[in-house]
């Protein structure tokens, strides 16, 4: 590997936040030394640690074998039998959790529902019988295209109960995306709703589904939840109302004994080609890591009220709204709508109303809150919060500090959790009572996870040098394959770096062993021979007081190879001007060095993002290079953002 294939690192973040004595007093892992001891204990045989955690679950037939590893195909606890819905529900009914709230649901219009564990169990059993009654059997695939309403986790758990494999398709996806996913999974059933509320509007899900169904020949039946009451077309013999099927369904449904490696769900994630890429996750290993990480990273206690703002259409919602928290018997808040509706303080209102203790959200949401200003959270009593989390993108240190001070009142640890749809559960994260925090770093791999930063040959790079983030040993919640395409699974993840799973992310490890994610490798910018990750330059921009968000991309440059173009949104009512532009360029040079100086700064009202909130640098790169966007835009959240950017381009 030649020198300039490494990624040059520029950012030096020095601040350190130790867990408070108050937090440590009740934390499961209450000190750095306790964490070190645990790490040492399990370093040599992480599988034995995971096996011990797996034994804490309820098994129908206990396993003897822990791991069968035929690279890159793993089987965890392969000779055991288990049922996830039994672990998330039945297990709690013989304890004081029987009448504890499992789900506190709030609709966007302000309507609410509470489901205790017993009630949730009843609904799941009844819907599991509905599934059986309409001909769904173990191994069938079921597409679920629902808004964030309780029927969504009920449907997932009912599938898990009978051994059907669910494929949840985010409610914001188009008919075309739904169709492709139905076809790829060969789904036999689709579960949808008449609609759902988002930003004050009723989104017509069934109407979208009808378009998708025209091209989804494998789908034989459709179950429709009534949510908005909007009129929908029901095709006789194919379409059935949820509430009508449920009326006569029995609430007795024993959990099906399933192999540990039984496919639990498929979740589609964006690939570079047009073909949807379905990450396949299985049962026991997934649940083991989901349960352990939820308990330890969120330090989740019996009396906590926990809120993860993700949509269940993403893996974050699968693992940290449904399977992780419910297997721990937690009380979960679930919110249907948009975070800024009807006003920018909806989240703070919900935290105050439910006295939420643990709050897990995304950097994109935090940066949006920053943009709207402190006055919104200040209207609310947020004193119930004791722990905060983030996931999805690198969090800029400045945004981290805002979250820590304004939301956490400087008393809540922040767990910056790195993971992927493919990893199934959190991989790199602080343990809140034990890990001293550095803003912007996801800190270190969890005990039992072996990750490193390496060069192209798989050799670890020295501290503070950028490289490729890899995982070197199989982990329980890893995807088992890409659904229907094991070759693509091998090629995509296991053949780029010898002997390891390649995450697609660039990262560096500092001298203390802290991991800093530098951005996706595909987004690396090459300036005068230096390969620069996007995260550091963006964080430098965001550290300037008036900046809310920034995205940087490379554009061909005759002299330097590539030049840096920065797209910047400003806080509150700040107006862009040429002086600010100059100041920002100087600021970047000062904070991280002249090599990272943007050759151009473009101010914009908003950045193009995926529906899960990730900045789409690919589109900005096209825009900066050719002045227009020709590539695939189907995952774009808000099309008008792109239209505006293109119009601005034409004016210049
Ligand atoms: C990619 C995975 C994991 C659930 C949501 C996203 C980026 C994720 C972090 C973090 C820096 C992060 C990575 C990763 N990412 N968490 N804490 N710090 N980057 O799932 O859509 O599969 O995306 O998100 O680039 O590879 P996903």
At 137-169, the pLDDT tens digits run: 999 999 999 999 999 999 999 999 999 999 999
pLDDT at 321: 98
User: Which tops the pLDDT comparison, 21 or 577?
Assistant: 21
Please report whether residue 636 resides in a domain: yes
Asked whether 420 lines ligand 1 (CB < 6 A), one says: yes
* 506 within ligand 1 shell (Cβ under 6 A): no
pLDDT at 3 over 70: no
Residue 622 lies in a domain: yes
User: Tokens 């790829």 — which residue?
Assistant: 184
As a whole number of angstroms, the distance between CA 521 and CA 470 comes to 12
Whether the pLDDT of residue 317 is over 90: the answer is: yes
State the number of CA atoms in the 13 A half-sphere of 179 facing the CB.
13
Residue nearest to atom 5 of ligand 1 (CA): 392
* Rounded-to-integer distance, Cα 138 and Cα 181, Å: 20
Average pLDDT of the segment spanning 101-106? 98
> Which of ligand 1's atoms lies nearest the C-alpha of 421?
22
Ligand 1 atom 20 nearest Cα: 420
Region of poorest pLDDT, from 15-19, 274-278, 475-479, 504-508: 274-278
Q: How confident is the model at residue 2 (pLDDT cuts 50, 70, 90)?
A: very low
Least confident segment among 39-48, 122-131, 264-273, 371-380: 264-273
Determine whether the shortest distance from the Cβ of 309 to ligand 1 is under 6 A: no
364 in ligand 1 pocket by Cβ < 6 Å?
Answer: no
Cβ–ligand 1 contact at 418 (below 6 Å): yes
Read off the pLDDT of residues 86-103 as tens digits, 9 standing for 90 and up: 999 999 999 999 999 999
Q: Is the dihedral of CA 197, 426, 185, 221 positive or negative?
A: negative
Taking the centre of ligand 1 as the mean of its atom positions, its distance from the CA of residue 597, in whole angstroms, is: 26
Q: Is 282 helix (H, G, I), strand (E, B) or coil?
A: strand
What residues have CB less than 8 Å from 93, skipping those under 6 apart?
Answer: 117, 118, 121
Does any ligand 1 atom lie closer than 6 A to the CB of residue 417? yes
Residue nearest to atom 2 of ligand 1 (CA): 420
Token pair of 6, please? Answer: 């490494």
Instruction: Confirm or reject: Cβ of 612 under 6 Å from ligand 1.
Output: yes
Domain for residue 491, yes or no?
A: no
Q: Are 365 and 613 in contact (CB under 8 A)?
A: yes
520 lines ligand 1 (CB under 6 A): yes
644 neighbors 604 (Cβ within 8 angstroms):
yes
Residues 6+ apart with CB under 8 A from 307: 332, 333, 335, 350, 351, 354, 356, 358, 359, 360
**pLDDT given for residue 116 in this prediction:** 98
Number of domains in the chain: 1
Minimum-distance ligand 1 atom for the alpha carbon of 429: 17
Q: What is the DSSP letter of 538?
A: H
pLDDT at residue number 32:
97
- Ligand 1, atom 6, residue with closest C-alpha: 392
Any domain includes 127: no
Does 579 map to a domain?
yes
Distance 393 CA to ligand 1 centre (A): 5
Residue 214 lies in a domain: no
pLDDT at 651 over 80: no
Nearest CA residue ID for atom 27, ligand 1: 420
pLDDT of 194-234, one tens digit each? 999 999 999 999 999 999 999 999 999 999 999 999 999 99
| C-beta of 419 in contact with ligand 1 (< 6 A) | yes
CATH number of the structural domain spanning residue 552? 3.30.300.30
* Ramachandran area for residue 229 (φ above 0: left; ψ -120 to 50: alpha; else beta): left
In the reported structure, the alpha carbon of residue 488 is separated from the centroid of ligand 1 by a whole-number distance in angstroms of 21
Range 269-276, long-range pairs (CB < 8 A, 24+ positions): 269/315, 269/420, 269/421, 269/422, 270/610, 270/635, 271/492, 272/522, 274/632, 275/180, 275/184, 276/177, 276/180, 276/181, 276/184
Task: Pick from 517, 521, 534, 614 the residue to mutate for probing ligand 1's pocket: most ligand atoms within 8 Å of its CB.
Answer: 517
Say whether 617 sits in a helix, a strand or coil: helix
550, part of any domain:
yes
603 located within any domain: yes
At which residue do the structure tokens 């819905």 appear?
Answer: 85
418: Cα separation from own chain's centroid = 9
Does the bond joining 342 to the residue before it have cis omega, within 30 degrees of 0?
A: yes
269 close to ligand 1 (CB < 6 Angstrom): yes
Is 321 within 8 Å of 153 (Cβ atoms)?
yes
Q: Model confidence at 640, in pLDDT bands (50, 70, 90)?
A: confident
State which residues form the domain around 535. 522-651
Tell me, what's the pLDDT at 273?
Answer: 59
Tell me, in angstroms, the distance from the centre of ligand 1 to residue 94's CA. Answer: 37
Cα 521 from Cα 558, distance rounded (Å) = 22
Q: What is the mean pLDDT of residues 290-301?
A: 98
Rounded to the nearest angstrom, the distance between the alpha carbon of 391 and the centre of ligand 1 is 6
Determine the Cα–Cα distance for residues 165 and 147; give it in Å rounded to an integer: 19
């Amino acid at each position: 590997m030649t020198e300039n294939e490494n990624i040059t690192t520029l950012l030096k973040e020095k601040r350190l936040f130790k867990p408070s004595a108050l937090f440590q007093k009740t934390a499961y892992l209450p000190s750095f030394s306790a964490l070190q001891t645990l790490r040492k204990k399990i370093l040599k045989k992480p599988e034995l640690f995971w096996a011990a955690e797996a034994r804490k679950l309820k098994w129908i037939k206990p396993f003897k074998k822990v791991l069968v590893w035929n690279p890159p195909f793993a089987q965890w606890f392969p000779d055991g039998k288990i049922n996830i819905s039994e672990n998330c529900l039945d297990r709690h009914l013989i304890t004081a959790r029987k009448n504890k709230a499992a789900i506190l649901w709030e609709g966007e219009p302000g309507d609410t529902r509470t489901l205790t564990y017993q009630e949730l169990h009843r609904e799941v059993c009844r819907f599991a019988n509905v599934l059986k009654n309409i001909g769904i059997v173990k191994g069938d695939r079921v597409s679920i295209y629902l808004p964030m309403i309780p029927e969504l986790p009920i449907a997932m758990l009912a599938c898990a109960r009978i051994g059907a494999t669910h494929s949840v398709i985010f409610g914001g996806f188009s008919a075309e995306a739904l169709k492709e996913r139905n076809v790829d999974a060969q789904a036999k059933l689709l579960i949808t709703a008449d609609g759902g509320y988002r930003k004050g509007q009723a989104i017509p899900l069934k109407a979208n589904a009808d378009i998708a169904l025209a091209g989804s020949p494998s789908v034989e039946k459709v179950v429709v939840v009534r949510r908005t009451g909007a009129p929908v077309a029901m095709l006789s013999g194919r379409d059935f109302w949820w509430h009508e099927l449920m009326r006569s369904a029995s609430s007795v449904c024993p959990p099906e004994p399933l192999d540990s490696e039984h496919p639990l769900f498929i979740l589609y994630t964006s690939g570079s080609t047009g073909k949807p890429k379905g990450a396949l996750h299985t049962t026991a290993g997934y649940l083991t890591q989901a349960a352990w990480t939820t308990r330890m990273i969120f330090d989740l206690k019996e009396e906590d009220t926990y809120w993860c703002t993700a949509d269940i259409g993403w893996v974050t919602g699968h693992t940290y709204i449904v399977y992780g928290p419910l297997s721990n018997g937690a009380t979960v808040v679930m919110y249907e709508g948009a975070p800024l509706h009807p006003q920018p303080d909806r989240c703070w209102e919900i935290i105050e109303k439910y006295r939420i203790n643990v709050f897990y959200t995304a950097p994109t949401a935090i940066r949006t809150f920053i943009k709207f200003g402190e006055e919104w959270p200040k209207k609310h009593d947020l004193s119930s919060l004791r722990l905060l989390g983030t996931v999805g993108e690198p969090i800029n240190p400045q945004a981290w500090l805002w979250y820590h001070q304004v939301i956490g009142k400087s008393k809540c640890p922040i767990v910056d959790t790195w993971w992927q749809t493919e990893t199934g559960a959190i991989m790199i994260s602080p343990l809140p009572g034990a890990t001293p925090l550095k803003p912007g770093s996801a800190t270190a791999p969890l005990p039992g996870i072996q990750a490193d930063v390496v060069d192209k040959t798989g050799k670890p790079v020295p501290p503070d040098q950028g490289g490729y983030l890899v995982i070197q040993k199989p982990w329980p919640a890893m995807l088992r394959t890409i659904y229907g395409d094991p070759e693509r699974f091998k090629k995509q993840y296991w053949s780029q770096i010898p002997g390891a799973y390649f995450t697609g992310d660039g990262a560096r490890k500092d001298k203390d062993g802290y991991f800093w994610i530098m951005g996706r490798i595909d987004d690396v910018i090459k300036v005068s021979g230096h390969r620069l990750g996007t995260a550091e330059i963006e964080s430098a921009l965001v550290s300037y007081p008036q900046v809310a968000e920034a995205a940087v991309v490379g554009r061909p440059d005759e002299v330097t190879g590539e030049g840096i173009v920065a797209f910047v949104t400003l806080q509150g009512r700040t107006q862009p001007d040429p002086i600010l532009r100059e100041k920002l360029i100087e600021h970047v040079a000062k904070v991280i060095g002249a090599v990272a100086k943007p050759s151009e700064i473009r101010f914009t009202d908003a950045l193009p993002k995926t529906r899960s909130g990730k900045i789409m640098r690919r589109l900005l790169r096209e825009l900066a290079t050719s002045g227009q966007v020709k590539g695939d835009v189907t995952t774009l959240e808000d099309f008008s953002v792109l239209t505006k950017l293109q119009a601005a381009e034409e004016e210049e």
